[in-house]
Amino acid sequence: MEKKLVRALLIEDDPSVAQLIRKMLDKVRDISFDLIHVENLSSGLEHLKDGQFVIILLDLGLPDSSGMKTLNKVYAQALDIPIIVFTGQDDEALGVSAVNAGAEDYLVKGQTDRKSLVRAIRYAVGRHQVKEALKDTTANLKRTVEKLKKANEKIINQQKSVIEEERLKVLLQLSGATAHELNQPLMALMENVDLMRLTKNIPDKIQKYMQGIEDAGQKIFEIIKRIQTIPQDNIKSDDSNNSTEGLDKKISIISVEESESDFKKISNCLKTFTQLDLTRVKNIKEALALLNDSPVDLILSEYFLPDGNGIDILRSLNDSKLEIPVVIITGQGNETVASEVIDEGAYDYLPKNKISKKSLFRSITNTVEKFGLEKEIKISQGKLAEMSSLEKEMKQAQIQLAEMSTRDELTGLYNRRYFIESLERELARAKRYKRNLGFCMIDLDKFKYINDTYGHLAGDMTLSNIGRMFDDHFRQGDLICRYGGEEFAVILPDTSLKSAMAVCERLRKKVLSHKFKYNSSDFSISISIGVALYNNLVHRSSDELVSAADQALYRAKEEGRNRVRYFSDNH
């Protein structure tokens, strides 16, 4: 695999620290760091005038400058480059101040290993990309609003005579296209605002600006709706100039599926949609052969295939320079596979047990629209041919970040994907600051009985209510997620084992005393909870922490359910 090139500027006066950082970065497998090292601020500022850097690593204690003024000088000259600052072990408050002043992150000397350094660089570049995308989207939004105003003015001024009727039709078409064009960057803008809200400790001033953007965005959404209701019955669109792939015309789909029964299920789900043209092949080889013979708009592929898997088909498309969106069908609950195929370039994934007419058509619709928008952006920017591998990855990461939902639809809690990322982040923070991290796994006891007795709608209602109860019970800084089915996970930062056990015991009693109502039936449910802890004395990886809590949960179940148990190495 070809390494990505990242040009970095290190401003650090201690040669031994600089050498250590260089060695750390040299060991990164997927990134080739072109590290430029200088020992004082003045030399660093000179390099910033000429060099194109992706990241700046800045020591705040330099021979010719120290403290916040060092950051201010670099930030003023490098507004478009993310900055990570280094502080001493006694200067963490300075690091926090630096982040508030514009730095993306800070690292403490003597407490930084290769993994945390590379992770900080990845996060810093990613966050900075999202911020820059928000700025670009806002600018595009303003330009599009002006275009919309001009289009509407023309419509009003050209309604005076029959001769100008044809012009009116053209302008109505322009308004509809402009409304569609406005809607896409507006959605991206609102999604980026939602992502920024996930960041903790956002200054009040920025939150106020974000609220202003949301309010303005809502007004523009209303304008778009009004424009889209303008009658256009007699206007014929010119599809030849429309670069957005829509479902108002035939969509050619290849289904790569060996199983007869699985393909039959897919075919039955889509047979009522006449605009979808579904062709079946049984393996990757047949799929690639068909792609060479006829144009295809989307590939719907089973993950496990006779001659490879979903990742193989994605890589084959990439090697063949074929830009075709792919939706992967995975096994039930296989989150690891889902994460891998998304990272490899799949646009979406569907668990087999979740496939329905509605979910399958929604996935196809979203994928085709996303792919069309991505093509539109690349063409309009004129960078498709010359875009570097790093720029491509950043663009894909931005789109993936903006489009990927972090919430479970039924409970409103975070989903498992977001939980996995957050647990790694919270463990790193606990290790850095030598703090406790509580973690618990929660399971609804005999939940199957509710589904069997009252029906699955009653089960869904129970899960939805449980989600609200959990959200109300835990602190704002705690992270609650639906781990899968009737199982939940909670991350408790800065929490001792005693406190974690106490808060879980209160939750157990609260759930047990709650009466659930469905139609004319009342029923109760109990929960079992397993608790595990990370601290200075007990170091655990994310997998080990989850496993420990799961073992404690299993013990709670074995002892009769409706109880809280903690993990101990002695058990």
Q: What is the mean pLDDT of residues 206-228?
A: 70
Sign of CA dihedral 342, 344, 346, 347: positive
What is the CATH T-level fold of the domain 251-390, as seen in this structure?
A: Rossmann fold (3.40.50)
Report which of residues 64 and 198 the model is more confident about.
64
> 4-112 and 251-390 share one CATH topology?
yes
Dihedral-angle region of residue 291 (phi above 0 means left; psi in -120 to 50 means alpha; beta otherwise): alpha
Instruction: Write down the pLDDT at residue 232.
Output: 46
Instruction: Write down the pLDDT at residue 531.
Output: 97
Q: Which two tokens stand for residue 571?
A: 């058990």
Instruction: Write down the pLDDT at residue 327.
Output: 93
Q: What is the mean pLDDT of residues 185-205?
A: 69
Instruction: Write down the pLDDT at residue 370.
Output: 81
Report which of residues 167 and 548 the model is more confident about.
548
352 close to 328: Cβ distance less than 8 angstroms = no
Report which of residues 58 and 353 the model is more confident about.
58
Q: What is the mean pLDDT of residues 296-313?
A: 92
137-162 pLDDT, tens digit per residue, is: 767 767 766 766 665 565 455 444 43
Q: Which two tokens stand for residue 498?
A: 């005693």
* pLDDT band at 274; cut points 50, 70, 90: confident
Residue 534 corresponds to which amino acid?
Answer: Y
Under DSSP, the state recorded for 404 is S
Return the CATH architecture of domain 416-566: 2-Layer Sandwich (3.30)
1-52 pLDDT, tens digit per residue, is: 567 788 899 999 999 989 999 998 888 888 888 999 999 999 999 999 877 8
Query: For residue 61, what are the β-bridge partners?
Result: 66
275 close to 251: Cβ distance less than 8 angstroms = yes
Instruction: Write down the pLDDT at residue 456.
Output: 87
Helix residue spans in 83-113 (DSSP H): 92-100
Q: Tell me the whole-structure pTM to 2 decimals.
A: 0.35
- In order of 299, 339, 453, 515, the CA distances from 335 in angstroms are 20, 6, 30, 33
Instruction: Write down the pLDDT at residue 4.
Output: 78
Burial tier of 466 (Cβ tally within 10 Å: 0-12, 13-18, 19+) = buried
Query: What's the mean per-residue pLDDT of the chain?
Result: 80
Closest CA relative to residue 426, chosen from 566, 535, 569, 538: 535
pLDDT at 353 over 70: yes
Instruction: Write down the pLDDT at residue 344.
Output: 87
pLDDT at 429 over 80: yes
Instruction: Write down the pLDDT at residue 295.
Output: 87
Instruction: Write down the pLDDT at residue 121.
Output: 85
Domain boundaries, the chain: 4-112, 125-234, 251-390, 416-566
Instruction: Write down the pLDDT at residue 247.
Output: 58
Report which of residues 395 and 292 the model is more confident about.
292
Highest average pLDDT, of 78-92, 111-125, 419-433, 521-535, comes from: 521-535
The span from the CA of 538 to the CA of 463, in Å, is: 33
pLDDT at 500 over 90: yes
Residue 490's SS3 state is strand
Sign of CA dihedral 383, 369, 339, 345: negative
Share of the chain above pLDDT 70, in %: 76
105 close to 126: Cβ distance less than 8 angstroms = no
Residues near 364 by beta carbon (within 8 Å), at least 6 away in sequence: 251, 253, 270, 276, 298, 300, 327
* pLDDT band at 351; cut points 50, 70, 90: confident
442-483 pLDDT, tens digit per residue, is: 999 999 999 999 998 999 999 999 999 999 999 989 999 999
Angle at 221 between CA 217 and CA 227, to 5 degrees: 140
Q: What is the mean pLDDT of residues 356-361?
A: 89
* pLDDT band at 241; cut points 50, 70, 90: very low
Length of the chain (residues): 571
Q: What is the mean pLDDT of residues 219-248?
A: 51
* pLDDT band at 95; cut points 50, 70, 90: confident
Instruction: Write down the pLDDT at residue 571.
Output: 57
Query: For residue 442, what are the β-bridge partners?
Result: 488, 529
Concatenating the DSSP letter of every residue in 241-304 gives: G--S--TTS-EEEEEE---HHHHHHHHHHHTT-TTEEEEEESSHHHHHHHHHHS--SEEEEESE
* pLDDT band at 184; cut points 50, 70, 90: low
- 498 C-beta neighbours (distance < 10 Å), count: 11
- 71 C-beta neighbours (distance < 10 Å), count: 23
Choose which CATH entry (3.40.440.10, 3.30.830.10, 3.40.50.2300, 3.40.50.11060) describes domain 4-112.
3.40.50.2300
The mean-pLDDT minimum among 207-216, 252-261, 529-538, 543-552 falls in 207-216
Highest average pLDDT, of 87-101, 414-428, 464-478, comes from: 464-478
Residue 386 corresponds to which amino acid?
Answer: E
Instruction: Write down the pLDDT at residue 52.
Output: 83
At residue 536, φ and ψ (nearest 5 deg) are: -60, -30
Share of the chain above pLDDT 90, in %: 37
Report which of residues 82 and 208 the model is more confident about.
82
Residue 53's SS3 state is coil
Dihedral-angle region of residue 446 (phi above 0 means left; psi in -120 to 50 means alpha; beta otherwise): left
At residue 424, φ and ψ (nearest 5 deg) are: -60, -45
Closest CA relative to residue 123, chosen from 71, 84, 77: 84
* pLDDT band at 252; cut points 50, 70, 90: very high
Under DSSP, the state recorded for 158 is T
Residue 147 corresponds to which amino acid?
Answer: K
Residue 115's SS3 state is helix
What is the CATH T-level fold of the domain 125-234, as seen in this structure?
A: Methane Monooxygenase Hydroxylase; Chain G, domain 1 (1.20.58)
Instruction: Write down the pLDDT at residue 148.
Output: 60
Instruction: Write down the pLDDT at residue 172.
Output: 52
390 close to 54: Cβ distance less than 8 angstroms = yes
Q: Give the CA dihedral 384, 388, 393, 395, nearest 10 degrees.
A: -50
* pLDDT band at 341; cut points 50, 70, 90: confident
Q: What is the mean pLDDT of residues 197-220?
A: 72
Angle at 70 between CA 65 and CA 76, to 5 degrees: 135
| N-term to C-term CA, the chain | 45
The span from the CA of 471 to the CA of 408, in Å, is: 13
At residue 21, φ and ψ (nearest 5 deg) are: -65, -40
Angle at 124 between CA 121 and CA 129, to 5 degrees: 125
Query: For residue 444, what are the β-bridge partners?
Result: 527
